[in-house]
């Protein structure tokens, strides 16, 4: 999270308000997180013709939420008085779960979703949707009772970024935001 790629981008002082408007946009799949919490919001700048350009990095290639994130961002800026903004998709460097902020991790935990651990090392380029189930498996602690004796029931939960787990100690199911 302290790496250059994941560091919060610098925003020109006159665009701080635009950044804040874009930063408040919620993730359509995880509404407890904003695009800033997720690390998806990468920058706000002006074009030569004065159009506001917002840079977003999708959480992974083919993420179905991306179209909605773009539309919500454009709408948020229009409502904040910035006119018709343009969204630029930035694929390099690729997003990793390490970009999720501390605030975002706390919000996930509050909603009984175990935040991701350190991301595995990445190849260059966007992360494919078909994540190998065995490539990276950290121990996931139960968010309710804290027990370490948990099992993965399904690699994909309500959204493809989350896996469904069950605690063998308290028997409660819970979700884990997978590391990518």
Least Å distance between CB 172 and Zn ion?
5
Could you tell me the smallest distance in angstroms from the CB atom of residue 162 to Zn ion?
A: 17
List the x/- string, 26-65, binding to Zn ion by CB under 5 A: ----------------------------------------
23 is a site residue for Zn ion (CB under 5 A):
no
Cα–Cα distance, 133 to 145 (Å, whole number)? 25
Residue with tokens 């919490």: 37
- Provide the minimum distance between the beta carbon of 125 and Zn ion in the complex, in angstroms, as a whole number: 37
Sheet holding 41-46, edge to edge: 41-46, 52-56, 86-89
CB contact at 8 A, 56 and 88: yes
Q: Give 34 or 150: the residue with its C-beta nearer to Zn ion.
A: 150
Tokens encoding 178: 């997978």
Q: Which residue from 142, 161, 163, 180 is in contact with Zn ion, where contact means CB under 5 A?
A: 142
Question: Which residues 143-172 are close enough to bind Zn ion by CB under 5 A?
Answer: 144-145, 147, 167, 169-170
**Residue 138 Cβ, how far from Zn ion at the closest point, in Å?**
17
When the beta carbons of 3 and 146 are compared against Zn ion, the nearer one is 146
DSSP class of residue 34 equals: B
How far from 147 is each of 32, 163, 169, 177, CA to CA, in Å?
25, 17, 6, 17
Our CB check for Zn ion shows the closer of 32 and 170 to be: 170
Residue closest to 6 by CA, chosen among 134, 154, 148, 122: 122
Place of tokens 């996930």: 108
Three-class secondary structure of residue 12 per DSSP: coil
Stretch that binds Zn ion, among 30-38, 74-82, 106-114, 142-150 (CB under 5 A): 142-150
Identity of the residue, 1 or 164, whose beta carbon is nearer to Zn ion in the bound complex: 164
Measured from the CB of residue 165, what is the shortest distance to Zn ion in angstroms? 10
DSSP tally for the chain: helices H, then strands E: 4, 7
Q: Where on the chain is the footprint of Zn ion (CB under 5 A)?
A: 142, 144-145, 147, 167, 169-170
């Amino acid at each position: 999270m302290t790496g250059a790629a994941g560091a919060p981008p610098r925003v020109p002082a006159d665009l701080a308000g635009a950044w804040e408007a874009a930063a408040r946009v919620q993730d359509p799949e995880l509404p407890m997180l904003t695009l800033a919490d997720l690390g998806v919001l990468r920058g706000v700048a002006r074009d030569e013709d004065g159009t506001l350009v917002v840079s977003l990095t999708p959480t992974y290639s083919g993420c179905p939420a991306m179209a909605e994130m773009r539309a919500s961002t454009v709408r948020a800026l229009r409502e904040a008085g910035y006119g018709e903004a343009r969204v630029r998709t930035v694929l390099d460097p690729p997003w990793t779960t390490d970009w999720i902020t501390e605030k975002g991790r706390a919000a996930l935990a509050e909603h009984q979703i175990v935040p991701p651990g350190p991301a595995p090392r990445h190849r260059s380029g966007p992360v494919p949707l078909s994540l190998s189930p065995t490539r990276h498996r950290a121990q996931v602690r139960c968010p309710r009772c804290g027990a370490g004796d948990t099992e993965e029931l399904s690699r994909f939960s309500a959204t493809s970024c989350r896996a469904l787990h069950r605690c063998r100690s308290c028997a409660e199911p819970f979700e884990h935001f997978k590391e990518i």
